[in-house]
C-alpha cells in the first residue's frame, strides 16, 4: 500500500523584509569590513526580492544572545505549526483527533521537549500520537522529513501522518560577524514553515521512492557553528562546483536504482539554495537557463528558507496532477531525492 499526499500547505511569519531595505541596513552594519563594497552585489545577485521574518527588521540592529534567539524560535515555530496544522486538516477533511503520528524537521533552534511534543500539547492532539523529531538535516530536512513521514504511513497502513517543517533562519543573523558566510546568509535567508498530511488511505498523489547520497570528506561544506550569540552559518564556495561536477551522476544512480528516468517527471521541485546553485542544477539536468521556474519564483518571493523551501516549490507546482521529483542539498554534504506522483 503506497502512501499518498493528502494535503500540502505553507505559511510565513508576519514581517516582510524587502531585499533593498536589507541591503541598505547590511551596508551600514558591516561597513567596518574593508571589502564590503566588493561583497554588496551579493544582495542584488541572489534573485531575491523579499523575504519574511518572525521579528521586525529593527530587531537585527541590536545584539541578541542564544537564549533570546532560541526562545523566539520556539514561540514562533509552534505558532506557525498551529496555523499550518489547522489548514492541512481542513484541506484533508480531517479533525485533530484523526492524526496518528507527527514528524517534525527543523535545524534553526533547539527544543526539548521537542517541537512535536509542543504541537501535541498546543493542539490537544491524541495522547497516543507517535512522534519523530528530526534535527540537523538543514536544507535537506524538508525532502528527507517528507520521505520519513511516508515511511511511517507505509509501515502502519491507514494511519494519518502529519509532517511539519519550520526554519527561522533569519534569527541566526549576527550583526558583529563580518565573515563572508554571515554576509551571504544575510542576503539569502528567510523564515517559513510548511506541512503535509500523508496516509495510505485517501485521495492524493502517491509518494514514490526516496534516495540519498553523502559526499565523502564533506563535513565542512555546510552547517552551523554554535557561538555564544547564536548559530554561525558555514557555507563553502564549492557547492555550485560540486553540483556541476557530481549531481547528474548521483541523480542517475537514484533513477537507475528505482527504475526511473528523468523524463518520467513533469517537473523538478528543486530546493533553491541560491541563484548559482540553480544555474548548476539546470546545467546538470540539461535544462535551459531559467527552466526551474517554480524554484526561482520561490527564491524571489521568499528567499532561502532552508528545509522549508522545497515544499514551497512543490506547492507552487501542480502537485496533485503531475509527477514531480523533489531534490535538495544539505549538510553532510548530501543530495536527497523524493518522487511524488509516480
Give me the phi and psi of 291, to 5 degrees please: -65, -30
| CB environment 74-93: b (16+ within 10 A), e (fewer) | eebbbbbbebbbebbbeebe
The size of the chain, in residues, is 342
Contact 166, 77 (CB under 8 A): yes
Give me the phi and psi of 35, to 5 degrees please: -100, 25
How far is Cα of residue 123 from the mean position of the Cα atoms in its chain?
Answer: 23
What is the residue-wise DSSP string for 308-325?
GHHHHHHHHTTTTTS-EE
* Pairing between β-strand 324-330 and β-strand 207-214 as defined by DSSP bridges: unpaired
Residue 246's contacts (CB-CB under 8 Å, 6 or more residues apart) are 215
Contact 133, 144 (CB under 8 A): no
Closest CA to 83 of 122, 113, 46: 122
**Strands (DSSP E) found in 123-266:** 130-135, 161-168, 191-199, 207-214, 222-227, 230-235
Q: What's the CA gap between 106 and 81, in Å, rounded?
A: 12
Placement of cell 531559467 in the chain: 290
Give me the catalytic one of 139, 169, 270, 285. 139
- The reply to whether 139 belongs to the active site is yes
Neighbouring-strand partners of residue 7: 197
Closest CA to 151 of 219, 112, 78, 101: 101
Q: What's the CA gap between 105 and 128, in Å, rounded?
A: 20
How far is Cα of residue 68 from the mean position of the Cα atoms in its chain?
Answer: 23
**Residue numbers annotated as active site:** 139
Amino acid at each position: 500500500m503506497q502512501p499518498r499526499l493528502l494535503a500540502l500547505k505553507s505559511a510565513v511569519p508576519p514581517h516582510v523584509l524587502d531585499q533593498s531595505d536589507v541591503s541598505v541596513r547590511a551596508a551600514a552594519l558591516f561597513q567596518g569590513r574593508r571589502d564590503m563594497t566588493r561583497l554588496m552585489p551579493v544582495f542584488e545577485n541572489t534573485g531575491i526580492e523579499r523575504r519574511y521574518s518572525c521579528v521586525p527588521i529593527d530587531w537585527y540592529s541590536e545584539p541578541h544572545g542564544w537564549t533570546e534567539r532560541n526562545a523566539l524560535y520556539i514561540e514562533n515555530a509552534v505558532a506557525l505549526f498551529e496555523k499550518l496544522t489547522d489548514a492541512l486538516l481542513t484541506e484533508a477533511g480531517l479533525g485533530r483527533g484523526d492524526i496518528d503520528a507527527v514528524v517534525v524537521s527543523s535545524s534553526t533552534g533547539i527544543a526539548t521537549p521537542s517541537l512535536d511534543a509542543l504541537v501535541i500539547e498546543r493542539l490537544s492532539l491524541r495522547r497516543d500520537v507517535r512522534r519523530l523529531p528530526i534535527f540537523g538535516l538543514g536544507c535537506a530536512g524538508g525532502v528527507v522529513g517528507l520521505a520519513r513521514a511516508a515511511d511511517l504511513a507505509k509501515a502502519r497502513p491507514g494511519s494519518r501522518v502529519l509532517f511539519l517543517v519550520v526554519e527561522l533562519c533569519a534569527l541566526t543573523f549576527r550583526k558583529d560577524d563580518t565573515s563572508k558566510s554571515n554576509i551571504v546568509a544575510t542576503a539569502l535567508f528567510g523564515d517559513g514553515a510548511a506541512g503535509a498530511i500523508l496516509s495510505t488511505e485517501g485521495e492524493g498523489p502517491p509518494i514514490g521512492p526516496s534516495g540519498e547520497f553523502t559526499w565523502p570528506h564533506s563535513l565542512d561544506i555546510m552547517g552551523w557553528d554554535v557561538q555564544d550569540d547564536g548559530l554561525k552559518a558555514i557555507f563553502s564556495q564549492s557547492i555550485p562546483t560540486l553540483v556541476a561536477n557530481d549531481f547528474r551522476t548521483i541523480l542517475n544512480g537514484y533513477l537507475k536504482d528505482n527504475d526511473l528516468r528523468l523524463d518520467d517527471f513533469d517537473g523538478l521541485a528543486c530546493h533553491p539554495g541560491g541563484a548559482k546553485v540553480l544555474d548548476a542544477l539546470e546545467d546538470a539536468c540539461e535544462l535551459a537557463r531559467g527552466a526551474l521556474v517554480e524554484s526561482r519564483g520561490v527564491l524571489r518571493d521568499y528567499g532561502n528558507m532552508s528545509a522549508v523551501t522545497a515544499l514551497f516549490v512543490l506547492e507552487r507546482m501542480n502537485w496533485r496532477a503531475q509527477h514531480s521529483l523533489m531534490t535538495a542539498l544539505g549538510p553532510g554534504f548530501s543530495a536527497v531525492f523524493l518522487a511524488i506522483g509516480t
